[in-house]
A and B are shown apart, each in its own frame.
Chain A
Amino acid sequence: MLARLNLALLALLAPALSFAGDAISATEKQPLNLSAIGMFVVFVSMTLGITYWAAGRTKSTADFYTAGGGITGFQNGLAIAGDYMSAATLLGLTALVYTKGVDGYIYMIAFFAGWPIILFLMAERLRNLGKFTFADITSYRLNQNRVRTMAAVSSLTVVCFYLVAQMVGAGQLIKLLFGLDYNIALFVVGALMMVYVTFGGMVATTWVQIIKACMLLVGGTLVAILAMSQFDFSFDKMMGQAVSLHSLGEKLLFPGTLIPDPITALSLGLGLMFGTAGLPHILMRFFTVTNAKEARKSVLYASGFVAYFFNVILLMGFAAIIIVGQNPEFFEGGQVGGKIIGGGNMIAMHLAKAVGGNLLLGFLSAVAFATILAVVSGLALAGAAAISHDIYARVIRKGKSTETEELRVSRFASVGLGLVAIVLGIAFEKMNVAFMVALAFGIAASANFPVLILSMYWKGLTTRGAIIGGYSGLIAAVLLVVLSKSVWVTVLGNAQAIFPYDQPALFSMPLAFLLTYIFSKLDNSAEGNAERAMFDDQYVRAQTGFGAAEASSH
């Protein structure tokens, strides 16, 4: 997820950051990287083996959506960390520190700070109330048809924009790292994703995520240790050289163009924090664990890994200023200070090569590919669940479909989403897709999050309020992104953006809250009163977990 947000924020900084465009615009094809492909083949065989094993264990809808609720807190923590730390985290954030210094670190704390809040305010209620999708929670006491349809629509919108942004990024990256053709790369990613999700469901998706998170942590740590050894493990020694060599000099230590004004700061903080708390594939992860205890532990482990890795990235970025930035081998034409070979996104890869040779480079490239696969699989699964569980089983069949029927629909949905992702990925190859990320986060924060949090915390919420507030949040988020620079200027070619910020959440989220509140308050219908009356039982369940969905036995 970080991946796509990363792209959005990089686009926000586009004029200042030369590599911002590289992340999403066409990249040049690199020579075929054999050691990387070799290691990637090992990863793929391993995950396919796991998928085969998982397929045998995926018999019920509970197995498919939530791995039967039998994932432990530690495993889920790793998987969440895996969802959160994508290829662009590794590549984009290292590059951000390399070019902008401390700005990159400021950016990382904003990504991190949402996790404690999710734990304190949401984790246990999510687990106690939800079963397969977050729509289970919002429609718990509200109108099943309308509220579930809305949740499914906004989930699918988020998932689709995310998937496309991820696919386009994936194609460019793979072209860059492995020297594979863009279209072939998309087919490989799409096909593997369909196999993992369709056959292995959440069990396979979770394990792919876990393996990838471990690879990422090991790879990053290895590069950072080898790099730091060149400075006798002294932060001051490294920084002294970095400051003297970097074109920014001392400015490396000061905030730069990332946060030019307080509104941007607030908008960034809000968007990251509450966008995360409204992403369907992240929310879904909370239903895979046995109980609220394990849900809390998941966040503890996940945030620990994320915090650790962000600090590793900081060291990598600073070390690269000296190790990569002074080595003519990594510049086009051997011109130090000129254009980096393969673009700014390659900083982390060049660093791996400089400190660990081709083997480490190959390993890190395989990690990046694995990361993409894991993230798109999580997204596809969340999208499939919205189609089969929310729309098909609950809204269309009114809960009367059998498990076999629902499972069949969910598998068709996974394949369908895979095909959509490939086709749109190819269609959007040349396009700047950064706006899709802003859109996904904006919708998550403005349509999903307000209704979700109010349904858990506020007795007064009614269907009418939720529907009006939720759809207004969705529409406002879309409109503001269209009027912002990433669509209005970059895509539509107008001279000046009408909405000056890239993250709509600061405006669309309060709007959604306000309208939900007003229309719930004004709702005096019998239906609304009945919904309020049902809050008390829901509240007890949210607090105690009594009556919560149990782990299915195997």
Chain B
Amino acid sequence: MSSTSSQRAVYARIRNNPRFTELVAKRQGFATLLSVIVLTIFYGFFMVVAFNPKLIGQRLSESSYVTVGIAAELFMFIFFWLLTAYYVKRANGEFDDMTTEIIRDAAKEVK
């Protein structure tokens, strides 16, 4: 799966474009931040399950059967999904616009 020489020229152009460095830094930083949030909450929850299971079964109020565990999990299902939506929105909008621009510039200069 080798690339052609004109492709390689475009790759070189893109690499030297400061906008590309900016795109990668921004998008990767954003993705890393979201991953850290998800992993921290997820493994944090699992550690509570492992070390303090009593807390998981505690009810939020006397009259309700919604426990800390059920509430926390429902929160994770919704919150993690909202984070995916947020990532898709930014990546498919702002970041992809930058990408299109960078490719267009590089391809233009090479031709």
B49 contacts A265, CB within 8 Å? yes
State which of A136, A296, A307, A547 has its C-beta within 8 Å of the C-beta of B91: A296
> Which residues of chain A come closer than 8 Å to B106, judged between CB atoms?
546
Chain B min CB distance to A120 (Å): 4
Q: How far in angstroms is the closest Cβ of chain B from A410?
A: 19
A112 to B88, CA, bound (A): 17
Q: Which of A117, A255, A299, A311 is in CB contact (< 8 Å) with B38?
A: A117
Contact of B88 among A102, A300, A540 (CB under 8 A): A300
Contact A546 B34 (CB under 8 A): no
Query: Which residue among B38, B74, B83 has the maximum number of chain A CB atoms within 10 Å of its CB?
Result: B38
- Tell whether, in the assembled complex, residue B10 and residue A236 are in contact, meaning their CB atoms are under 8 Å apart: no
B57 nearest in chain A by CB position: A254
Judging by beta carbons under 8 Å apart, are B42 and A113 in contact?
yes
**CB of B110, distance to nearest CB on chain A (Å):** 11
Instruction: Check B92 against A109 for contact (C-beta < 8 Å).
Output: no
Instruction: Tell me the count of chain B residues lying within 8 A, CB to CB, of chain A.
Output: 57
Alpha-carbon distance A304/B82, docked complex (angstroms): 9
Known: A109-B73, A119-B88, A239-B65. A540 touches B15 (CB 8 A): yes
Q: Cβ of A262 < 8 Å from any Cβ of B?
A: yes
Given A109-B45, A543-B24: A116 in contact with B84 (beta carbons within 8 A): yes
Contacts of B66 in A (CB 8 A): 235-236
What is the distance, in angstroms, from A431's C-beta to the closest C-beta of chain B? 32
Q: Which residue of B lies closest to A136 (CB)?
A: B1
Q: Tell me if B53 and A300 are in contact (CB < 8 A).
A: no
- In the complex, whether A501 has a CB less than 8 A from a CB of chain B is no
Instruction: Indicate which residue in A254, A266, A292, A311 contacts B77 across the interface (CB closer than 8 Å).
Output: A311
Chain A residues, Cβ within 8 Å of B38: 113, 116-117, 120
A105 lies within 8 A of B43 (CB): no
Q: Which of B10, B42, B57 contacts A546 (CB 8 A)?
A: B10
Which residue in A255, A299, A311 is a CB contact (below 8 Å) of B53? Answer: A255
- Within the complex, what minimum Cβ distance (angstroms) separates B84 from chain A? 5
Q: What are the interface flags for A519-543 relative to B under an 8 Å C-beta threshold, 1 for contact and 0 otherwise?
A: 0000000000000000011001101
- The CA of A543 and the CA of B59, in the complex, are separated in Å by 46
A106 to B53 CA separation, bound complex (whole angstroms)? 12
Residue among A112, A116, A136, A235 with most chain B CB within 10 A: A116
Interface residues in B27-69 (C-beta closer than 8 Å to A): 27, 31-32, 34-35, 38-39, 42-43, 45-47, 49-51, 53-54, 56-57, 59, 63-67, 69
Further contacts, 8 of them, CB under 8 A, given A117-B39, A120-B38? A102-B57, A113-B76, A292-B91, A303-B80, A304-B81, A307-B78, A537-B3, A541-B3
Q: Interface residues, chain A, CB within 8 Å of chain B?
A: 102, 105-106, 108-110, 112-113, 115-117, 119-121, 124, 131, 136, 139-140, 235-236, 239-240, 243, 250-251, 253-255, 259, 261-262, 264-266, 268-269, 292-293, 296-297, 299-300, 303-304, 307, 310-311, 536-537, 540-541, 543-547
Q: Which 9 pairs across A and B sit closest by C-beta, in order of nearness?
A: A239-B65, A254-B57, A120-B31, A253-B57, A262-B50, A255-B53, A537-B11, A265-B46, A307-B77
Interface residues, chain B, with chain A CB atoms under 8 Å away: 1, 3, 7-8, 10-11, 14-15, 20, 23-24, 27, 31-32, 34-35, 38-39, 42-43, 45-47, 49-51, 53-54, 56-57, 59, 63-67, 69-70, 73-74, 76-78, 80-81, 83-85, 87-88, 91-92, 96, 99, 102-103, 106
Identify 16 residue pairs between A and B in the complex whose beta-carbon atoms are under 8 Å apart, listed by A's number. A109-B45, A115-B84, A117-B39, A121-B35, A235-B65, A239-B65, A254-B53, A255-B53, A259-B50, A269-B46, A296-B91, A300-B84, A307-B78, A536-B11, A543-B24, A547-B3
